[in-house]
């Protein structure tokens, strides 16, 4: 069974489905932040250190 099939089975449980749907906006937001970081070519480490403003070097 792959993840898609497993998720479909889990979503048959009304309590699971309710919680899954409640968390959907949080996950969408997190994935949007990840896509923006990747589009800018930044690593997670660079974000942790604070990426530079235009014309500045990354803090070491």
> What pLDDT tens digit does each residue of the chain (60 aa) get?
899 999 999 999 999 999 999 999 999 999 998 998 899 888 888 888 876 655 455 444
Alpha-carbon span 59 to 2, nearest angstrom: 42
> What's residue 26's pLDDT?
93
Q: What share of the chain is helix, strand, coil (3-state, %, to 5)?
A: 65, 0, 35
Which of the 8 DSSP states describes residue 13? S
Task: Judge whether 14 and 26 are in contact, CB under 8 Å.
Answer: no
The reported pLDDT for the residue numbered 52 is: 61
Q: How far is CA 12 from CA 15, 27, 43, in A?
A: 9, 20, 38
| Angle 45-29-1 from CA coordinates, rounded to 5° | 90
Residue 60: predicted pLDDT: 42
28 occurs within a structural domain = yes
* Owning domain of residue 26: 13-37
In a domain, 54, yes or no: no
Q: What is the pTM of this model?
A: 0.57
Q: What is the total count of domains within the chain?
A: 1
In a domain, 50, yes or no: no
Residue 32 lies in a domain: yes
């Amino acid at each position: 069974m792959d993840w898609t099939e497993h998720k479909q089975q889990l979503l048959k449980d009304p309590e699971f489905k309710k919680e899954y749907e409640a968390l959907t906006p949080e996950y969408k937001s997190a994935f949007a932040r990840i896509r923006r970081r990747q589009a800018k070519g930044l690593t997670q480490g660079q974000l942790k250190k604070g990426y530079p403003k235009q014309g500045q070097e990354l803090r070491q």
